[in-house]
Structure 1
Amino acid sequence: MIKVGITGQSGFMGMHLYNYLGTKSEEIERIPFDKAYFTETELLESFVVSCDVIVHIAAMNRHKDEQVIYDTNTHLVEQLITACEKTGATPKIIFSSSTQEARDNLYGKSKRDGRKALEQWAAKSNASVISLLIPNVFGPFGKPYYNSVVATFCHQLNHDETPEIHNDGTVNLIYINELSEVIYNHIVATDSSKTELISVEYTASKKVSEILNLLVNFKANYVDNGVVPDLSDKFEKSLFNTFTSYIPKDYFPRKFTKHTDDRGAFVEIMRANTAGQSSFSTTVPGITRGNHYHTRKVERFAVISGKAKIQLRKINTSEVFEYDLDGDEPAYVDMPIWYTHNIKNTGDTELITLFWINEPFDSEDPDTYFEVV
């Protein structure tokens, strides 16, 4: 087992990496980190001693005074080095740097100088430092007006605000799950390299207007009309999963349109511009199904007969969202990624639920991780 700690664990990148490593529990033991460690010397020293690998992500990205950014980020690196020197700890350190190292701003300079300080420590201590030059990162749960333009646009569109493009430049992007995989590969690598600077390849290059147009279409088709878009393109699926993470939780459940006549009733369950797999289940009263989460799959639960309670909880948080559905008024709830979810028959008759998911089940790559809501 490799013991891995992540500074900045509660931030956007740190939280995603922490959760990603949680899916690798057969080889990774996560060492919890709290930002208070940077104000409590003994706690930081205990942390560095406990880790085989430290992924140093903690940093300030934005501030009205750029000097504060520089001073904060370089000080965090200094504290980490001091803790290692005082305890004699020599964990492999994976440093989250940025392509902005090459730019003339104090954020980029803070990353460059922090990297060089870590490299000097590694040379003296016979330790290993892998520095990653990371392009623009996007993904679910990013902080609007802080982490990325994608986060800002997603927030605005889901809160009835009008996004504006100030500079329609080309943005080189990597999805947070892809970045987490890159970092994971460096965590488990057994090469003997002591100091290495690696440029992380971007996986998509888009104009800002292209990104906004896709998000506007998600709003018009999915939020306003319940139509799942074409998810065959990897970037667009990642962008869609990012977009849906900003939809307010009171958006669900969504009631279907029920057409009735003397023959009975007709309900359209799903309209999608993408392939997928449909299935249904019957559940006896009192039984709960699910209690798992996905990291990439788009999934819909539609209750068409009986009564049910659907519960959702974001991984590593405590708040539970609950939705009561009744087949007398057929409705659906879509499952966001990184939310463990379940469905319970709360009635006294059989529950019938229709499930749709955007990819057929693959036992070799199920993307299904069990955790009780």
Structure 2
Amino acid sequence: MFMAGQGLAQTPPGGKPAGPAAVGTVTIETQDVPYIRTLPGRAVAFETGEIRARVSGVVEEILYAAGDKLEPGDPMFKIEDDSYTAAFASAKAAVAGAEVQVQTTRATVDRYKTLQGNAVSKADLQSAEAAAASAVASLAAAQAALDVAQLDLDRTTVRSPIAGIAGIATVSLGALVTANQADALATVTRLDPIYIDVSDSSAGMLRVRAQIDDGSLKLGTKVGVALVLENGETYDGEGTVVVLGNVVSATTGTFDLRVQFDNPKRLILPGQFLRVKMTLGSTRAKLVPQRATGRNSDGTLTVFVAKDGVAKKVALTSSGSQDNAWIITAGIEDGDLVIVDGLTNLRDGAAVKPVPVTIDADGVVHDAVVDTAVAPDATKPTTGNN
């Protein structure tokens, strides 16, 4: 049985070679491979509310604590309201006076109508009607002033306009604030859901479209969106594309798109730089385990192939990666035996003895499963050299 890491055959004391080196190999086959574009992105808050005073006055109370989860309408600041309470009372009294005036002028009109032609002339009636109309207009103006006074009084309690997490207050008790001032009193940020703004190159977009046109890329029913956090872990949740950009930047040659993720645990915070993996569909390609490959001095990706009992070094063309394998578009053919284990000191042209192995999701080499009646230990895991 082949054991990973066996490497080249050992030379016995007599100096004669022991024979070809046993090497672990996997057979290459063309298969459907997910077509994934990994793009840089930056987290952006779903909503951000800047809290400002709508009336002037001194801050009497701060009604929240930084980090509180707020709902729309929750109070955040209290501004002294003595003058606004007085203004509201004055406006309310003006409305009451205007209502009395309307009632009085309308009564006069009614009385004049019954007396017209006797003690009241037509001109007197017209004057009374004009006075009644003026009283109605004065009542409307007084009601409008009351509404404004009510609004100003209500605005002495500054409330959150959105649901989100409250930030640190930028003012303290006793601070004088003015209506619609430039500086915000605080901010409220909605983190669930959250947006990720992604940039992609226009050249990459053209390559994707060319692959769609020539049939090498088969689009899926929807775009799969996954997120890789700053620590390299994959975020638990699938995103959705919200906006596709339609303008290419003249300076960077990129266009923007926006995706959305649920963020109930607040793992994603605005400003974080992340990676977004977008699965557009599938393409026919060959997968070569990354542990089997190397690089020439010029950066060319290479791999050893076992052919006719000899290890041959070949150059590969890659279009990206899938899990622990490179996606290969040129350099090897279906049925080639790629050497994935026993690579230590292996040289181009060396005599080798291929032994079938498998590689699990963690990149660990195991003997290939064979008929246990013939080789009962064939499934024993091995430890690889590369």
TM-score, normalised to structure 1, is 0.21
Which structure has the higher relative contact order (CA within 8 Å, separation 6+)? 2
- Structure with the higher strand share, 1 or 2: 2
TM-score by length of 2: 0.21
Higher radius of gyration, 1 or 2: 2
